[in-house]
Amino acid sequence: MDGYFAADSVVVRALSSRAVGLTYGQRALVTGALHARLFVGTAQHTTHRTSPYTRLGLTARLFEAVFLGSRAEADRALAYAAKRHATVRGSTRVDGGPAHPTGSSYDAADPGLMWWTAAFVLDSVEAVHDALVRRLSDAEREELFTDFVRWAELFGMPRAGAPRDHRSFRADFDAWLHSDAPFLTDEARLVGRHIAGTSGYALPLRAISSPVLATVVQGSLDPVVRAHHGITWGRRQEAAWQAVSRASRAASRVPLLRRSPLTTGRSEEFYKVVQRGERALLARGGVSIRGVSDVPSPYGEPDHVA
C-alpha cells in the first residue's frame, strides 16, 4: 500500500538511506536538548528514565512508520502517539534559562512546540544527508521542508505553526541556535553528551554503538551545539570526521552498495536491536545513562506516561 509520502520523494529517499536512518536521531536529540522547555516537558512525562533507549527506539520506529510505512501503518502510529500525548501538558519544575524559567507552560498540542520537534529532526536529516550521502539541491531542500510540514500536520500541527518555506525555516532555526535562547539544564547536558558518545556507549552491538557513530554525531553538530555541551573538538577529531564523511559519500555513489539491504531500507530492526541491548544491560544490573538513569528524578513523579 502507498504511504503518505511518495516512494520517490526526497524524505523517503533520505530516510531510507541507512547512513541517515541510523544517525539523524542522535544528532537531533543532542541539538534539541538545547530547547529547555521541550526537554523538560518531555522529561517530566516519561517513565523511561531507567530505559531511555527503549523510549528513543520506540520514537524512531513511530517516525519511520509515518514516513516510510503504509497509510494503515502510519495511522496506527499516529493514533498511538495521539493517545500518549493527549495529557502531556503542565509547567516546568526546573529552570530552563531566561527563555524558559521555572513554571513555563508546555503542551504537546502547542503548534510552536510541535514545529520545534519537527525542526530539530529536519535540521538533522539535512545535515547528515549532506555529510554522509550528498549535498541536497535547493529544490530538494524545499521539498524536504514541505514533507516535514506535512509530517507535523499528520501529528496534529496546524500549517500556521510552521514557517512559510525552507529559507524561512533555515533563517529562523539558525537565528535561534546562535541567540541567547538555547539553554542546557544539568540533566540535558548529561543526556546530550551521552547520546553524542563523549564517554562511549554502554549498549552492545558495535555496529551502532561505536566510536565511528560518536564521530558522526559529534562531527555533524553545529560548532555552537558542541560548545554548549562542552564537547572537545580539535584537528584530530575534525580529520577523523572528514575521513568518515568522505568514505560514506564515496560508498553512496557505488550502485551495488546503494541497492544493498545493508545500506538501504527501513532501520526499525536496528532500533529493536538497541532496545533489546538495553533490556539485556538492565537485566545484568547495568545503567543506561549514569547520572540520569540511576538517580532520582529532579522533577518528582512523572505527570504522564510517555
Distance CA 295, CA 167 (A): 42
Distance CA 216, CA 201 (A): 14
Taking the CA atoms of 116, 229, 291 and 30 in sequence, report the sign of the dihedral they define. positive
Across residues 216-224, what is the average pLDDT?
A: 97
Q: 111-132 and 36-43 are packed helices; what angle lies between their axes, rounded to 10 degrees?
A: 110
Look up the pTM and report it.
0.94
185-217 residue pLDDT tens: 999 999 999 999 987 665 554 444 478 889 999
User: How confident is the model at residue 203, as a pLDDT?
Assistant: 58
Share of the chain above pLDDT 90, in %: 71
Q: Which three cell numbers stand for residue 89?
A: 501538558
Contacting residues for 109 by C-beta, under 8 A, at least 6 apart: 85, 89, 156
User: How confident is the model at residue 264, as a pLDDT?
Assistant: 84
The length of the chain, given as a count of residues: 306
117-162 residue pLDDT tens: 999 999 999 999 999 999 999 999 999 999 999 999 999 999 999 9
Helices (H) and strands (E) in the chain, counts: 15, 2
245-285 residue pLDDT tens: 999 999 998 887 777 777 889 999 888 888 888 888 899 99
What element of type H or E holds 220? helix 211-220
CB 258 within 8 A of CB 217: no
66-105 residue pLDDT tens: 999 999 999 999 999 999 888 889 999 999 999 999 999 9
